[in-house]
Amino acid sequence: MPHANIILTGFMGTGKSTIGRALAQRLGLSFVDTDQLIEERNGCRVADIFARQGEEAFRRMEADLAQELARQQDLVIATGGGFFTNPKNVATLQTGGHIICLTATAEEILDRIKKQEQIRPLLQDPDPLERISNLLCERDSIYRQFPQVATSKQTSDQVVDTILNLLN
């Protein structure tokens, strides 16, 4: 019997991909990372899409992907940090799934993304911690509409357990 999708949202660096993979493995579901899928389909990184085509083009790609994924089941979907800045993406994915927002402190987010190889286009700023804090404030009303799961100082297993408890 098919299962509703589990969609993870939240700011960059909150653990959506890491937790999404662990959650999918635990439940025996397929995992989809929206940024990774867009990169695969375009043959370049998100940062390059932003640089070459602009943020608006990237957000259109996300909207198209939301439509596509909403027609599928048995997925754990990790969305990009700005995926739900488009309310249509929320409405589209909510029809067939449960959306959960992962959170972390601005300091922990900065620490995590500094360790990643991928350059984050929205963080090309002289004061990245301030930029993260500002973006978190800007997106707070978007993220707050979903159940919140803190990932700061938590293991992947602890976060997955919390999500499963929320869903049950």
Task: Report pTM.
Answer: 0.91
The per-residue pLDDT string of the chain (168 residues; one tens digit each, 9 = 90 and over) reads 567 899 999 998 999 999 999 999 999 999 999 999 999 999 998 889 988 999 899 999 999 999 999 999 999 999 988 898 899 999 999 998 999 999 999 999 998 888 876 666 666 788 889 999 999 999 999 999 999 999 999 999 999 999 999 998
Place of tokens 């997925």: 75
CATH topology for the 5-160 domain: Rossmann fold (3.40.50)
DSSP 3-47: --EEEEE-STTSSHHHHHHHHHHHHT-EEEEHHHHHHHHHTS-HH
Contacts of 160 by beta carbon, 8 Å cutoff, 6+ apart: 19, 22, 23, 26
Domain residue spans of the chain: 5-160
